[in-house]
Amino acid sequence: MQIPNTFNINVKANIYLPIHSEEALVEALQQHKNPFVLGGGSNMLLTQDITQPVLHILLKGISIVKENNDNVWIKAQAGENWHQFVQYTLSQGYGGLENLSLIYGNVGTTPVQNIGAYGVEIKDVMESCEAINIHSLQKRNFTNAECSFGYRESIFKGKEKGNYIITAVTFKLTKRNHLLHTEYGAIQQLLAERRLSSPTPKQLSEIVISIRQSKLPNPDTLGNCGSFFKNPIISKTNYEELKIQYPDIPSYSIDETQVKVPAGWLIDRAGLKGYRKGDAGVHNLQALVLVNYGKATGKEILAVAHYVQATVLKQFGITLEFEVNIF
């Protein structure tokens, strides 16, 4: 069985089990130890065939937990497609997820990575998530605070890595008085072009989709997993030193002592946008994205990633960290 993945890497599994219910998940965990858990097949790079039993989490369902005049708490099962879920909430008039439109993957993996875009992260909208412990088979509810969210980090990538499988996520969304994040330059530009001074959540989602489509390849036509590298966080002192040599280097303030520098800018400035070796390469429109032009192997894409890391380190003294999981 070929493992579905957005890089379109040809990797096979000896044992593949589609999971459509919590009962089926518990039963599979009773029979198979040390499983390989598969969600939407995004945010991962497969470099070899998987010998572990693959459990493909496909639980479906969306339901309202509770609501009041201002907010709605909506639960989505882990196997729901993320972008389709976002669009569903917007169609109901709910706000909160609009900036996270057109991110590939499924609902269940969003807290693991604490996905984010344009000033919004999962930690800003997630109320809680349900998960099954793969050892005890007991179900646990994790509150937002218990998830230990950080920049593209969570307890599921740290302390509890490999111990839990998320089965459902509950989000707290707004029904009115929406708090929209429009501070990014690209969003501001399109708002001005469309003469939208007070956009609705759905209109903001449409702008985000337009921006992402203009610079990010569709995995259905060009294998990729979105952003491959994290935006590095460096000291303000380091940043000021770099700014002397590179006056146009952009940054986003984290706190009084740290700033975030766009990894895409560093890769582009290092001359690697559009770099290609065989069928593996750096996308020619968005340097943060590595792509499979056809028949690249996971190891060939990983080699390009290491080359990008080494080049950026040599030129800027900054080590880029992978955002994706490597297997």
How far is residue 201's CA from residue 99's CA, in Å, rounded to a whole number?
Answer: 9
176 counts as catalytic: no
Does an H or E element contain 72, and which? strand 71-77
Q: Which one of 80, 121, 130, 323 is the catalytic residue?
A: 323
CA–CA dist 227, 115 (Å, integer)? 11
User: How many degrees, rounded to 5, is the angle at CA 184 between CA 183 and CA 185?
Assistant: 115
Active-site entry in 42, 152, 205, 212 = 152
b/e code 230-239 from CB counts within 10 Å (16+ = b): bbbbbebebb
3-state secondary structure of 61: coil
What angle (nearest 5°) sits at the alpha carbon of residue 132, between those of residues 129 and 137?
155
Q: Decide if 240 is catalytic.
A: no
Annotated active-site residue in 42, 128, 154, 227: 227
Q: Strands 325-326 and 116-117: what pairing?
A: unpaired
* Side-by-side strand order, sheet with 126-133: 62-67, 71-77, 164-174, 126-133, 139-143
323 an active-site residue?
Answer: yes
Which residue numbers are catalytic? 152, 227, 323
